[in-house]
Structure 1
Amino acid sequence: MSIGHILVVDDESEIRNLLVDVLEDEGFTVSSAADAAEARGSIAVRRPDLILLDIWMPGMDGIGLLREWHERDQLVWPVIMMSGHGTVETAVEATRLGAFDFIEKPISLDKLLLLIEHALDNRRLAQENAALKRGEVDPLDLIGDSEYMQELREQAKKIAGHDAWVLISGEPGTGKQALARFIHRHSARRHFPFVDTGGSAVSGRQNAAVELFGAEEDGRIRYGLLEQANGGTLFIAEAADMDEQTQMQLISALESQSFFRVGGNEPVRVDVRVIAATRKDLEAEVRAGNFREDLYYHLSVVPVHIEPLREHPEDIPVLLAHYLETAHQVEGLPRRELTIGARNLLRYHHWSGNVRELKNLVQRLLILGSGEVIDEQEVQRALGLAPMDQGGEDNSPALVSLNLDLPLREARDEFERRYLLAQLKNVEGSMTELSRRTGMERTNLYRKLKSLGIQTGGERSTGSSA
């Protein structure tokens, strides 16, 4: 498998051929061009990971070509300039226009290979930092010491050793993207990009095709997510949200590993691994005619299901400790400790939003709270279980007296009963608002209320007659 694609642009054929041979021996795939026109044609066919660009060439020189990419905002790859007659002014201008570095001829191959390694590493770090700033990457790994989490990590490492497509299912907030990133980091593709389509790129928006496949117009190239993921992993954040047209285009592109950019005339070849995630039952979506059967079978070569957090509550204390410490170390939030009562309350919380809800709760407690200790009452208020009246009196339901000596399932049922009763009181019996607050679908919510013996009336009636 290639470790990257490099374009060599130099008018001297001996130098081009030498560099092509050396770089291919190092494991790169390499294209070459003798001038600016050939270079433009090459990047239109395949997006390079790095360009080696000679300064002195007939027609448009290297600085002119670099300026063209810079002005068109098309410099999405690192460029290393090469010259046998370089000057300080030329090097300064190349750097100003976005070149990564400058190397003199005759070229030291050892120095060049080291420069290429640094340039690619720098590009990967820049991409990761940009993703972190956009909030796309959770800095934490698959956290948990339970037997379930240990088995999940081991399963993910086995999957990473193969190049099969993966379909990850689970409730919202369970860590589907974290699992996908874990698989990518432990795979042979780990040195290449992990590209997340997000929800917008596949949800049928007008420019969905442009975002996925890119576009060409007036000599300008916009590289889509598929091309950006070349060599690495394309993560489809919510496969069930893809409209029919996007499903059809995507299956065609992924089966042939090639596609046309919007407005383009030449096919673009890619080599990507696909990891998709879904909160829905895709088999049921196929039966209902909402999802293509052929795409489903391509995506689900290796299916993996992530259990909701409430099914492995022994990981909750570990998650709380990690998020409390990370919020302090990474985000600069104050360090605070949970009391034993607060920990017990959180351990038996339903966590309908799973790990994401837990992380958000920790941030809310650290941002809005004060003091070194987080007690049960503060947790109840943060969960919406302990409203304060205008005089500041605590009107919370009596949740603190939960019997922790009960078997796990009975204790969980008791806590869920009290939690839902408190929420019902807060929303004045509105099932619509209760569904929104708890993050549960109406059908599942009615079923849960009935199983816990909670009677409701009016629009919220489950066990009583109308």
Structure 2
Amino acid sequence: MSKPYILVVDDEPDIRSLVQEILEDEGYDVGVADSGKSARDALQELTPQLLLLDIWMPDEDGISLLKDLKRGGQLDFPVVMISGHGTVETAVEATRHGAVDFIEKPLSLAKLLLTVEKALQYAATGSATEGGQKENSQLPEPLIGSSQYIQSLQQQIRDIGATEESVLIVGEQASGKSLIAKHIHAAGKRANRPFIQLRCDSLSSANSSRELLGESNHGSLSSGYLEAAAGGTLFLVDVEQLPEVAQSLLLEVIEKREFRRIGSLTRQQLDVRLIASSAEKLPELVRRGDFSAALYNELSSREINCKPLRDHPEDIPVLLDYYVNWFVESESLPYRHFTVAAQNRLRNLDWPGNLLELKNLVQRLMILGSGVEVDVPEINEMLGGPGTSGETANQLGLSMDLPLREARAAFERAYMLHQLQLAQGNIGELAKRVGMERTHLYRKLRSLEIDLGKARD
């Protein structure tokens, strides 16, 4: 499936380059234009899946361009307006002429990504197909494997999907929790409605209310995650990372089944299914006083244990076939086949990075290897590099005699450099791999004195 193409139109070069970099890191294809005229030229060359359009530009205001596109029957894609002068009147006028949403400068990273995801969901499911049913073109990847665990998981998903109960998915990082959440959403009556992911580590005590509830302040409008997921599913990724103030706020919304944007008097009904994931056992956090017992009870009507890869190694041969074919189709890499001995070698590893680690290993073997067959010697050579499964601190070149603080910093630096290499210098992919919000990740890289430019080279 090709990447969604997004056209960003803004007369400020800093805004254009920032938005382009952020969206490209998220895996989108991005084009830019600096004026109404250049936007028209770009639209003639290639139709985007989404247009981010500045309202105020020197040669032409964005709403005039929006009106012309609508009048000419060229509005075959969602439009999100960007402005530093957001008012209710401007937002209403933009939506009346076909815009699906409205964001303001200075841009919030979380808000930008949420708005883009929501707009693309609208493009995928917003128009009825024949028979009045809405089309869902974003089906999740299949659950790969034939083990008893995978079969049991598929049955659990079918059973839970038929209900509206909240679900808590517990398991190690990269063990498949997000995929399970997407399958539960796809198995239920909300399948053709939005599936919105909220990375809980992106929330702070200061921004939790605004990001969850949205805001109506001094005439400006901003929708939050609860509103964006209306009618669909809100997936709380790493819910154990929720700040205390966000836990209290979310619990209140769940109990009252309604919420209000900050600064608004209008109450909105809560119409979302909640699915949460956690890399830690929440009852232990509740006992330590680090997580709300009441919120845990609300989120865990049903609970799924997501096993690490080392606990179902019999699925590795099927996973290898799937990943090989995926890279052949998506990246046009030459086909390679894992011998039985190679498969058995991989079945005996510990896989601390779970499915993501296996997928990345397959990718490296397909890129760097030669010949149709992948055998044990090639795998051993690939695993001989730093940061491979089951490696000790000494193999990483870390001194065991350092004070704890220095040893931790040394490990974090080695770990980040290794993950950055696996992410091929892509900061968005790195953020997903290490489970950090990008703003925090940039600060962490600076504190570890990791130069992104040099690391990419």
Range into which the TM-score falls when normalised by the shorter chain:
0.5 to 0.7
- Correspondence for 2:84: none
Mapping of 1:444-455 within 5 angstroms?
none
Mapping of 1:358-437 within 5 angstroms?
358-384=358-384, 420=391, 424-427=394-397, 430=400
TM-score calculated relative to the size of structure 2: 0.59
Aligned-partner Cα distance in 1 for 2:358–2:70:
54
What is the CA distance between 1:370 and its match in structure 2?
3.2
- Correspondence for 2:275: 275
What is the CA distance between 1:425 and its match in structure 2?
3.8
- Correspondence for 1:295: 295
Mapping of 1:57-456 within 5 angstroms?
91-92=71-72, 95=75, 116-118=127-129, 125=137, 128=138, 140-202=141-203, 204=204, 206-384=206-384, 420=391, 424-427=394-397, 430=400
> What per-residue deviation string (whole Å, max 9, x for no partner) do you get for residues 159-203 of structure 1?
11111111110111110111111111011111111111024444x
SS at match of 2:72: helix
Aligned-partner Cα distance in 1 for 2:227–2:70:
32
Aligned-partner Cα distance in 2 for 1:90–1:347:
56
Aligned-partner Cα distance in 2 for 1:70–1:93:
18
Provide the aligned C-alpha RMSD in A.
Answer: 3.7
Aligned-partner Cα distance in 2 for 1:197–1:263:
22
> What per-residue deviation string (whole Å, max 9, x for no partner) do you get for residues 268-293 of structure 1?
22311101110111101011110011
SS at match of 1:315: helix
The answer (yes or no) to whether the contact 2:212–2:225 under 8 Å persists in 1 is yes
Aligned residues: 303
Aligned-partner Cα distance in 2 for 1:293–1:426:
40
SS at match of 1:345: helix
Aligned-partner Cα distance in 2 for 1:360–1:380:
15
What is the CA distance between 1:213 and its match in structure 2?
1.6
CA 211–333 in structure 1, closer or farther in 2 if over 3 Å, else same: farther
AA partner of residue 222 (structure 2): R
Using CA pairs under 8 Å that are at least 6 residues apart, name the structure with larger relative contact order, 1 or 2: 2
The answer (yes or no) to whether the contact 1:286–1:293 under 8 Å persists in 2 is yes
What is the CA distance between 1:148 and its match in structure 2?
1.4
Aligned-partner Cα distance in 2 for 1:355–1:326:
14
CA 265–310 in structure 1, closer or farther in 2 if over 3 Å, else same: same
CA 199–374 in structure 1, closer or farther in 2 if over 3 Å, else same: farther
> What per-residue deviation string (whole Å, max 9, x for no partner) do you get for residues 111-164 of structure 1?
xxxx95149988964xx4xxxxxxxx9x52211101111011001110111111
What is the CA distance between 1:254 and its match in structure 2?
1.9
What is the CA distance between 1:308 and its match in structure 2?
1.3
AA partner of residue 237 (structure 1): V
> Percent identity of the aligned residues?
33
> What per-residue deviation string (whole Å, max 9, x for no partner) do you get for residues 200-221 of structure 1?
444x264333222222234332
Larger radius of gyration: 1
Aligned-partner Cα distance in 1 for 2:216–2:185:
30
SS at match of 1:276: strand
SS at match of 2:199: coil
What is the CA distance between 1:351 and its match in structure 2?
0.7
CA 315–252 in structure 1, closer or farther in 2 if over 3 Å, else same: same
> What per-residue deviation string (whole Å, max 9, x for no partner) do you get for residues 87-113 of structure 1?
x99731784996779xxxxxxxxxxxx
AA partner of residue 287 (structure 1): R
Aligned-partner Cα distance in 1 for 2:303–2:257:
22
The answer (yes or no) to whether the contact 2:205–2:243 under 8 Å persists in 1 is no
Aligned-partner Cα distance in 1 for 2:336–2:208:
44
CA 250–373 in structure 1, closer or farther in 2 if over 3 Å, else same: same
AA partner of residue 366 (structure 2): L
Aligned-partner Cα distance in 1 for 2:129–2:98:
9
Aligned-partner Cα distance in 2 for 1:273–1:90:
34
The answer (yes or no) to whether the contact 1:143–1:318 under 8 Å persists in 2 is yes
CA 116–323 in structure 1, closer or farther in 2 if over 3 Å, else same: closer
The answer (yes or no) to whether the contact 2:386–2:395 under 8 Å persists in 1 is no
AA partner of residue 128 (structure 2): E
The answer (yes or no) to whether the contact 2:239–2:277 under 8 Å persists in 1 is yes
Aligned-partner Cα distance in 1 for 2:237–2:272:
15
The answer (yes or no) to whether the contact 2:336–2:372 under 8 Å persists in 1 is yes
Aligned-partner Cα distance in 1 for 2:289–2:398:
39
What is the CA distance between 1:367 and its match in structure 2?
2.6
Aligned-partner Cα distance in 2 for 1:118–1:100:
20
Aligned-partner Cα distance in 1 for 2:98–2:350:
51
Aligned-partner Cα distance in 2 for 1:200–1:249:
16
The answer (yes or no) to whether the contact 2:214–2:222 under 8 Å persists in 1 is yes
SS at match of 2:169: strand
SS at match of 1:184: helix
Aligned-partner Cα distance in 2 for 1:171–1:165:
20
